[in-house]
Amino acid sequence: MTTNETSDTAAVIGYDPGFGNTKVCIDGRVGMIQSAVSRPKSVGLATIGMRAASQQVPIVEIGDTAFAVGPGSWNRGEPLTSLDYNSLVAPERLALFYAALGSVDIAHISAFTLCVGLPVPLLQDKAQATIILDSLKRFKGNHYFTIGHKAHELEISRVKVLAQPVGAYVNWLYDDQLNLRSNGNKAEVAVMDVGFYTLDLYAIANGQVSERHIGGAEVGVHRLLDLLVNDGHDLAEIDLALREGALRPEASQLDMWLGEILAAIKRTWPSLKRFTAVIPTGGGALVLGDKLKVALAAKGAAVHWPDDPLTANVRGFWKYGVKNVGNR
């Protein structure tokens, strides 16, 4: 992803702007960064003689504005992390998008189709979704930014928006060589995406969306974090402690959170037995692990656990783009 080093090859970027992680996928390769961001605070020489806690935090510059991104960014300045849907198109989210791209080599490519996934609860609110969809048009065109003082440029020619769970479905439907699963397009598949903020529920039968079985609730990983601690730490900081094992939920806390998730599922899917496959995905699925598998199986679900629930959506967005709107 360097200047003056591109060709005429068109490609696809799968983009999952999650509240927990920002993820991209290009040519099957995933770049990911925790969705934590701040505006760096200048303290002059106040850290002299000490090693700054934020020394290794990447800095993304967009024009004259700098953002600290990823784990530890909360040490650089006031966190800008927000669970408001409007923040998905804010400048700080653009900085996270660029940072995720920075870990994936996309040199030699001149133009991209961007396939981006949005949460189901957002898309169900037509008025708010229309505003967000219109604002996503700003992704089209040329992008100039620096990461760690290294200049990059990028052109996005098209933007395609999908519901987030569609990614996990497409990832299940096609293997890594983009071969179609046998009889996969005739199956009735349910995807439950347990993200940081939302639980997204989606069902596809014979390759078509089943409106009856679309739903969701704001009971993602943040609900577990609310149960764990509320001591003034930034939510992203607590999330990192959970990821690294420094914060361990009690079984009762996991059961309470799982109960909220199962209640939301039942409202949209009264019976899981009808589906050919039930696909759990998202960081929340990883946190719950076997508890979730056992609970779903007990309700008659044919559970299909992705190789990596954390990246199943974004891999699916890339596959969708390659098969439908872009070229490899």
Average pLDDT score over residue span 224-229:
84
Q: End-to-end CA distance of the chain, in Å?
A: 17
Bridge-based pairing state of the strands 215-217 and 199-205: antiparallel
Query: How confident is the model over 92-126, as pLDDT tens digits?
Result: 999 999 999 988 876 666 789 999 999 998 899 99
Contacts of 197 (CB under 8 A, 6+ apart): 19, 20, 83, 119, 218, 220, 221, 222
14 versus 104: the higher-pLDDT residue is 14
Q: What is the pLDDT of residue 107?
A: 65
The dotted CATH code for 9-165+314-324 is: 3.30.420.40
Which pLDDT band holds residue 2 (cuts at 50, 70, 90)?
very low
Domain locations in the chain as residue ranges = 9-165+314-324, 178-310
Q: What is the pLDDT of residue 50?
A: 38
Percentage of residues in the chain having pLDDT higher than 90: 66
Amino acid at 182: S
316 versus 85: the higher-pLDDT residue is 316
Tell me if 9-165+314-324 shares its fold with 178-310.
yes
Q: What is the pLDDT of residue 83?
A: 77
Phi, psi of 269 (to 5 degrees): -125, 85
pLDDT at 230 over 90: no
Select from 141, 147, 193, 207 the least CA-distant residue to 314: 193
227 versus 157: the higher-pLDDT residue is 157
pLDDT at 79 over 50: yes
88 versus 175: the higher-pLDDT residue is 175
Cβ atoms of 313 and 164 closer than 8 Å: yes
Find tokens 């056992």 and name the residue: 294
Mean pLDDT of the chain: 88
Copy the structure tokens of residue 56: 């290794």
Query: How confident is the model over 36-78, as pLDDT tens digits?
Result: 999 987 544 344 443 555 567 999 999 999 999 999 998 888 8
Query: How confident is the model over 142-199, as pLDDT tens digits?
Result: 999 999 888 988 999 999 999 999 999 999 999 999 999 999 989 999 999 999 999 9
Sign of CA dihedral 227, 232, 238, 239: positive
Q: What is the pLDDT of residue 1?
A: 44
Please write down the HEC assignment for all residues of the chain.
CCCCCCCCEEEEEEEEECCCEEEEEECCEEEEEECCEECCCCCCCCCCCCCCCCCCCCEEEECCEEEEECCCHHHCCCECCCCCHHHHHCHHHHHHHHHHHHCCCCCCEEEEEEEEEECHHHHHCHHHHHHHHHHHHHHCEEEEEEECCEEEEEEEEEEEEEEHHHHHHHHHHECCCCCECCCHHHCEEEEEEECCCCEEEEEEECCEECHHHCEEECCCHHHHHHHHCCCCCCHHHHHHHHHCCCCCCCHHHHHHHHHHHHHHHHHHCCCCCCCCEEEEECHHHHHHCHHHHHHHHHCCCCECCCCCCCCHHHHHHHHHHHHHCCCC
pLDDT at 136 over 80: yes
Q: What is the pLDDT of residue 276?
A: 96
Q: What is the pLDDT of residue 48?
A: 44
Please write down the HEC assignment for all residues of 260-305.
HHHHHHHHHCCCCCCCCEEEEECHHHHHHCHHHHHHHHHCCCCECC
Average pLDDT score over residue span 214-230:
88
CATH class, 178-310 region = alpha beta
Which pLDDT band holds residue 227 (cuts at 50, 70, 90)?
confident
Which pLDDT band holds residue 82 (cuts at 50, 70, 90)?
confident
Average pLDDT score over residue span 10-22:
91
52 versus 247: the higher-pLDDT residue is 247
- Could you tell me the pTM of the whole model? 0.89
